[in-house]
Amino acid sequence: MIVNEIILEVKNLTKKYQLPNEKFLTACNEISFQVEAGKTIGIVGESGSGKSTLVKMLMGMESVTAGEVYFRKQNILNLNKQALWKLRPQIQMVFQSPVASLHPKMKIIDIVTEPLFNYKRLKRSEKLAKAKELLAMVELSEEFLNRYPHSLSGGQCQRVSIARALALKPAILICDEATSALDVSVQKNIVDLLLKLQAEQKMSILFICHDLALVHSFAHKILVMEKGVLVDELSEGESLTESTEEYTQALVDSVFSLKEIKRNLQINNARK
């Protein structure tokens, strides 16, 4: 891995939706940022800030109104379907709902190995061994191989989703609210797992989240979005209270308010 290599560069990415009254809704407005190889970028903001639209454009799930997206200096928005298919293993995604993102009628062994068969990177004779390896990577035992998603917990399903996404050894993993549907204790376990895998595989992570405190605990850089615009940037090691941006401070205050509520509840319970 080249030190400080810019693996992903987004330039002035914009998405506008046509409304019935002939006006436009701008979901993302001239978004620009860079992702270094092996680093984690957190993108935070409230619901409706444009985070999901941004992710969909990066993954080719949403058309782009204007702007450019470069993966290793190649503008991926100019690629044809065949070229995009070849590129797709390099940029994989973990979705918000761990259960809904897994096919309910497929066994776990088939789910985690499907990407490898799609790209002809796995022989049938190697399927079982590879599936065991992928589950071990996300700290799940082989007893899960022949189970279906509905028999797993949310955290276990998200581990399966991560195993599936990393089967192709991507350079970038995009996590779209990947922990928001999980309990707080499970969130920490999933984040710890992602960081361990990041260190092992030297991949970059783009972590989309509404929880500023969670992202601040591990991201190398945080981008704050409000109403489709990047309004702030926090560097690694920078305190949440150092930002002078009003919207960022509002997010910080909401986090601290929740902590204060929890502390007061603990005090009140102790007095009973």
Give the tens place of pLDDT for each residue, 99-129.
888 999 999 999 999 999 999 999 999 999 9
Mean pLDDT of the chain: 87
**Domain covering 6-271, topology:** Rossmann fold (3.40.50)
Q: Which residues pair with 236 in a beta bridge?
A: none
Closest CA to 233 of 3, 67, 44: 44
Tell which wins on pLDDT, 64 or 255.
Answer: 64
User: Which pLDDT does position 164 carry in this prediction?
Assistant: 95
Q: Over the stretch 203-233, which tens digit does the pLDDT of each residue have?
A: 999 999 888 888 888 899 999 999 999 998 8
- pLDDT-based confidence at residue 258 (cuts at 50, 70, 90): very low
Percent of the chain with pLDDT over 70: 91
Backbone angles phi, psi at 256, to 5 degrees: -65, -35
Q: Over the stretch 144-191, which tens digit does the pLDDT of each residue have?
A: 999 999 999 888 998 999 999 999 999 999 998 878 777 777 888 888
Q: What is the mean pLDDT of residues 14-34?
A: 90
Cα angle 239, 183, 231; round to 5: 35
User: Which pLDDT does position 262 carry in this prediction?
Assistant: 45
Helices 108-118 and 127-137, interaxial angle, to 10°?
Answer: 110
Q: Please, are residues 197 and 162 in contact by the beta-carbon 8 Å criterion?
A: yes
Q: Which parts of the chain are beta strand (E)? A: 6-18, 24-36, 40-44, 66-71, 74-75, 91-94, 172-176, 204-209, 221-226, 229-235
Tell which wins on pLDDT, 137 or 95.
Answer: 137
User: Which pLDDT does position 261 carry in this prediction?
Assistant: 38
Domain borders along the chain are: 6-271
Q: Please, are residues 222 and 245 in contact by the beta-carbon 8 Å criterion?
A: no
- pLDDT-based confidence at residue 47 (cuts at 50, 70, 90): confident
Q: What is the mean pLDDT of residues 58-72?
A: 93
Q: Which residues pair with 10 in a beta bridge?
A: 33, 69
User: Which pLDDT does position 182 carry in this prediction?
Assistant: 74
Tell which wins on pLDDT, 241 or 92.
Answer: 92
Amino acid at 234: L
Q: What is the mean pLDDT of residues 23-37?
A: 93
Q: What is the mean pLDDT of residues 25-34?
A: 94
Cα–Cα distance for residue pair 246/257, rounded to 1 Å: 16
- pLDDT-based confidence at residue 266 (cuts at 50, 70, 90): low
